[in-house]
Amino acid sequence: MTINRKILTLDEFTIQQMRQFPSATGELSSLLRDIGLAAKRVNVEVNKAGLVDILGDAGTVNIQGEDVKKLDIYANNQFMGVLQHGISCAGIGSEELDDFVVFDDEISNNSKYVVQFDPLDGSGNIDVNISIGTIFSVYRRISEVGQPCVKEDFLQPGSRQVAAGYIIYGSSTMYVYATKRGVNGFTLDPAIGEFCLSHPDIKCPPSGKVYSVNHGNFFQYTINTREYINVCQKKDKTNGGPYTQRYIGSMVADVHRNLMKGGIFLYPGTLDKPNGKLRLLYECNPFAFIVEIAGGRATDGKRRILEIEPTELHQRTPFFVGSKDMMDELDTYLQKD
Ligand code: P6P
């Protein structure tokens, strides 16, 4: 029975999806709802970040060598907390934690999934009120259910993700997640405190007119990457342009915009950092999964992001993601590297 209501909440939608599979245990639906709960709690703090003394560096430095702001810690603890006290997650990996965390209690050890997340991506923008986000990735564990999860559960290729998603804390707060069945977006309705289905079955337009890259690194990129960027600048009405350059230094916001409107996001390797800056497991894999399910593509310049066999929790990768036709054109340049 489909709930005959114009607006479906996240809870109603995930339950409706689960009911279509009578054999489903409901663990994934429950996990996705848990993430929604943590996102609502983080959203409250993000929205008042300018008002309370939650801003400012927490005085610690994370594995990325970046100053950790108090909201990063708060967000990390919120997502870890709901997953640890839920019924679906055996353990987590986080940008804010050097190693993965095994929840190691009877319920958690009997859970099917592990989750990796960047609790607050773009946190350098917190103090200047630019959109930031949470990114997450869900895998079915490969270790024996009933036992504590192990490191191999977290080092699976992105193609084995069961679900992935992000929350963007922007002009509105939106929760977007993908499973193999599609990508759906839910906008937080503050009046009822629920995420409501606002963007069903999101598809990435096959092309667009936006390219997103940090031009400040231009002379650090390979010759072929620079050639592609020059091509973007020369586009006009005769060859699919003109293009606009949009880059706000917050990956969730940049990729979300390009997913919705069409476009391409590039974070290439540079001469001194050939693997670039972005993290494979909890930044690139989730977005690669989401964008591919929506009809786009994601590579490291040579191969599908989702085919990369991870070796470390915090490994970096060059990252190119977006509309299929734009990615196909990019390939003709990067394959020459
Ligand atoms: P740069 C934010 O720190 C982040 O991880 C992504 O959200 C963003 O796309 C990227 O780094 C921006 O990096 O080097 O261009 O400032």
Specify the CATH number for the domain of residue 226. Answer: 3.40.190.80
Q: Structurally, how many domains does the chain consist of?
A: 2
Closest to 134 (Cα-Cα) out of 123, 148, 150, 146? 123
Clarify whether residues 307 and 191 are in a common domain: no
Instruction: Let me know whether 95 and 194 are in one domain.
Output: yes
Ligand 1 nearest-atom number relative to CA 118: 5
The domain spanning residue 156 has which CATH number? 3.30.540.10
The tokens describing 39, both together, are: 């996102």
Whether 164 and 248 share a structural domain: no
142, 168, 199 — which closes off a domain? Answer: 199
Q: Is residue 1 part of a domain?
A: no
Residue 49 lies in a domain: yes
- Asked if residue 115 is part of any domain, the answer here is yes
Q: Kindly state whether residues 44 and 159 are assigned to the same domain.
A: yes
Helix (H) or strand (E) holding 245: strand 244-245
Domain end, chosen from 199, 233, 250, is at: 199
- Say how many Å lie between the CA of residue 237 and the centre of ligand 1: 31
Same domain, 164 and 144: yes
List the Cα angle 75/78/82 in 5-degree steps: 150
Instruction: Provide the strand spans (E) within 170-217.
Output: 173-179, 182-189, 194-199, 210-212
Give the Cα separation of 318 and 244 in Å (integer). 22
Report yes or no on 3 lying in a domain.
Answer: no
pLDDT at 241: 85
Q: Going residue by residue through the chain (337 aa), what tens digit of pLDDT does each one get?
A: 555 557 899 999 998 888 888 888 889 999 999 999 999 999 988 887 665 554 445 566 666 666 655 888 989 999 999 999 999 999 999 999 999 999 999 999 999 999 999 999 987 787 788 999 999 999 999 999 999 999 999 999 999 999 999 999 999 999 999 999 999 999 999 999 999 999 999 999 999 999 999 999 999 999 999 999 999 999 999 988 899 999 999 999 999 999 999 999 999 999 899 999 999 999 999 999 999 999 999 999 999 999 999 999 999 999 999 999 999 999 999 987 7
CB-CB contact of 10 with 195 (8 Å): yes
Candidates 169, 246, 250: which one to mutate for ligand 1, based on the most atoms within 8 Å of Cβ? 250
Task: Kindly state whether residues 190 and 276 are assigned to the same domain.
Answer: no
If asked whether residues 152 and 173 sit together in one domain, one would say yes
Q: Is 52 found in the same domain as 24?
A: yes
The confidence score (pLDDT) of residue 77 equals 95
Do residues 108 and 89 touch, judged by C-beta distance below 8 A? yes
- Distance from residue 9's CA to the centre of ligand 1 (Å): 32
Given 199, 221, 241, the domain boundary residue is: 199
> Of all protein residues, whose CA lies closest to atom 16 belonging to ligand 1?
249
Do 106 and 182 reside in the same domain of the chain?
Answer: yes
Residue carrying structure tokens 């870890």: 80
Burial label, 182 (beta-carbon count in 10 A; 0-12, 13-18, 19+): middle
Q: Closest residue (by CA) to atom 3 of ligand 1?
A: 122
In a domain, 258, yes or no: yes
Q: Is residue 204, in this structure, part of any structural domain at all? A: no
* Same domain? 79 vs 184: yes
CB 119 within 8 A of CB 92: no
Q: Is residue 205 part of a domain?
A: no
How confident is the model at residue 6, as a pLDDT? Answer: 73
Exposed, middle or buried: residue 272 (CB in 10 Å: 0-12, 13-18, 19+)? exposed
Q: Evaluate whether residue 307 is within a structural domain.
A: yes
Kindly state the helix (H) or strand (E) to which residue 305 belongs, with its residue range: none
What pLDDT score does 318 carry? 98
231 and 135 assigned to the same domain: no
Give me the pLDDT at residue 51, please.
59
Q: How far apart are CA 312 and CA 324, in angstroms?
A: 29
Range of the domain at 68: 10-199
Q: Identify whether the C-beta of residue 230 lies closer than 8 Å to the C-beta of residue 262.
A: no
Q: 312 and 234 in one domain?
A: yes
pLDDT of residue 24: 80
What distance in angstroms lies between residue 250's CA and the mean position of ligand 1's atoms? 6
pLDDT at 22: 80
pLDDT for the residue 56: 47
pLDDT of residue 123: 79
